[in-house]
Amino acid sequence: MQEENLALKLGAAIRTSRLATGSSQERFADAISMHRAYYSAIERGEKNITIGTLVRLANGLGIKPSELLAAAGL
């Protein structure tokens, strides 16, 4: 599987999880101390994130990193 497809799938799963919390991109990015533009690029699948960033996102969403990966089909 190509890296860009992985990033797209993970970004979509992150977006779905964020929307389930009822939070906007800006509010969520602020809550996890991340620049909104960078967070937006993650959701669009334009960034290959580190494990540390994955954990940070999952913690902000109140779920385990493995749940995000599973939601993305990874």
pLDDT tens-digit profile, the chain (74 residues): 576 689 999 999 999 999 999 999 999 999 999 999 999 999 999 999 999 999 999 999 999 999 999 999 98
- The pTM of this model reads 0.89
3 state SS for the chain = CCHHHHHHHHHHHHHHHHHHHCCCHHHHHHHCCCCHHHHHHHHCCCCCCCHHHHHHHHHHHCCCHHHHHHHCCC
Question: Which residues, at least 6 apart from 22, have a Cβ–Cβ distance to it below 8 Å?
Answer: none
Q: How far apart are CA 35 and CA 13, in angstroms?
A: 19
- In the chain, what are the domains? 3-71 (1.10.260.40)
- At 74 the pLDDT is 87
Q: How far apart are CA 37 and CA 66, in angstroms?
A: 25
